[in-house]
Amino acid sequence: MSKPTPISGFPEWTPAQRMIEQHVLERIRDTFERYGFAPLETRAVEPLDQLLRKGETSKEVYLLRRLQADPDGPAGDDALGLHFDLTVPFARYVLENAGKLQFPFRRYQIQKVWRGERPQEGRYREFLQADIDIVDRDTLAPHHEAEMPLVIGDALRSLPIPPVRIQVNNRKICEGFYRGVGISDPEAALRAVDKLDKIGPARVADLLTATAGATEAQAKAVLALAEISAPDASFADAVNALGVSHPLLDEGLAELVQVMQTAAEHAPGLCVADLRIARGLDYYTGTVYETQLIGYERLGSICSGGRYDNLASAGAVAFPGVGISIGVTRLLGLLFGAGALTISRPVPTCVVVAVTSEAQRAVSNRVAEALRARGICTEVAPSAAKFGKQIRYAERRGIPYVWFPGTDEGADEVKDIRTGAQVSARAEVWQPPAADLRPVVS
């Protein structure tokens, strides 16, 4: 039996990293609930036709198959696949349960998702997303699109991570503009523009003429739009100055102005209107978001989403929505890789109770019980080794306190092994400083 090896794209963290992850998830969850989003979990699998409803992600969907399944059997639309995001399952859930839900429906969902892509730093095949969405029946007020970045801004600012910049665009602006200048294939144009940062304007212009059927003048106009970026609503003037008009363009401009104005009031500096942002899944129809970790821009967006009008519809009833999702695994992977996220100790334990002798272990157990009853994470030393060894057991794990049960008449004593200070104490009342109670993430 050879040594097991990792599976590409399926990260497994250390306990210290998992504690950091749990801390991060707790803060994110707290923020989501503070904005009134209700928790939801959906199953890991969806029927394939649900997953593929929206286009060309088929190759990255993992299929679920029984070992004993008939290999020649139909693997059609009713086959099951692991979900590759949380928005599509959510849309399905809304349709399925519309009768029980109150609209507008606000929910958050923090779950694993799976994508069969080639892994590299910050890109995994199994990863955790923390997603919020708001859906309404028939129509969804545009102000919800302005709320998304505020929630995310609060959530991410509650974490010990570098500041973020949320880049916002609106697909109606791009599409309306492209139509306004007469581009035949707006989607190809979007894809080309999206590469602006990577390959530069000259090659994007080439791409535009090659794949989107643009003339030189059209490519120039498209690039001029893509290069517009502003920390406030002034982007609209810049767009208007280009002299293109189209109803869809005006609609998009009005919506993005509202997002930017709201952001400017509640979270100055958080959002940037960036008209080159095109990304996200292809079901987005309005506002789109992408998020850069400042200092880690090269490694991609750690949080993105947008408005979708057609994802959930059943017959005549439509449920337009808007959502955004934090790529928790990517965020953590990047920061772990950079050594930028640490925790003060790799175990929750605050106190190790020393064991004087195996015959006296019950005494130590009683001390531990008294401490735990008051919320102090406590373990009893694994063996009645020499006290030096027991102290070292704590030291190796970063556990700050070792408790020595008193012998005979002598009182119990607790030692802060960082300072060496040792004082007599009673398990019923002793309290560590608040900063030592739990591991601190920074």
The residue written with tokens 């503070």 in the block is 34
Binding mask 335-354 for RNA (x = CB under 7 A): --x----------------x
CB of 127 to RNA, least distance (A): 4
96-155: contacts with RNA (CB under 7 A): 115-125, 127, 129
Q: Which residues pair with 132 in a beta bridge?
A: 108, 324
Of 250, 252, 201, the residue nearest 224 (C-alpha)? 201
Q: Which is nearer to RNA, 68 or 357 (CB)?
A: 357
Say if residues 19 and 343 touch (Cβ distance below 8 Å).
yes
**Should residue 9 be labelled a site residue for RNA when binding is judged by CB under 7 A?**
yes
**Should residue 185 be labelled a site residue for RNA when binding is judged by CB under 7 A?**
no
The one-letter code for the residue type at 244 is V
**Should residue 57 be labelled a site residue for RNA when binding is judged by CB under 7 A?**
yes
**Should residue 303 be labelled a site residue for RNA when binding is judged by CB under 7 A?**
yes
Which member of 6, 71, 339, 433 binds RNA (CB under 7 A)?
A: 6
CB of 36 to RNA, least distance (A): 23
* Alpha carbon of residue 153 to chain centroid: 12
Contacts of 131 (CB under 8 A, 6+ apart): 85, 86, 87, 90, 108, 109, 110, 305, 323, 324, 325, 326
CA quadruple 327, 332, 338, 341: dihedral sign: positive
**Should residue 323 be labelled a site residue for RNA when binding is judged by CB under 7 A?**
no
Which member of 107, 279, 307, 345 binds RNA (CB under 7 A)?
A: 279
Distance CA 87, CA 134 (A): 11
**Should residue 297 be labelled a site residue for RNA when binding is judged by CB under 7 A?**
no
**Should residue 259 be labelled a site residue for RNA when binding is judged by CB under 7 A?**
no
Q: Which is nearer to RNA, 100 or 386 (CB)?
A: 386
CB of 240 to RNA, least distance (A): 29
Q: Which is nearer to RNA, 169 or 180 (CB)?
A: 169
CB of 331 to RNA, least distance (A): 7
Q: Which is nearer to RNA, 11 or 252 (CB)?
A: 11
**Should residue 357 be labelled a site residue for RNA when binding is judged by CB under 7 A?**
yes
Say if residues 201 and 227 touch (Cβ distance below 8 Å).
yes
Q: Which is nearer to RNA, 291 or 349 (CB)?
A: 291
**Should residue 58 be labelled a site residue for RNA when binding is judged by CB under 7 A?**
no
Which member of 98, 254, 347, 417 binds RNA (CB under 7 A)?
A: 417
Which member of 256, 391, 427, 441 binds RNA (CB under 7 A)?
A: 391
Q: Which is nearer to RNA, 343 or 425 (CB)?
A: 425
205-224: contacts with RNA (CB under 7 A): none
Q: Which is nearer to RNA, 50 or 301 (CB)?
A: 301
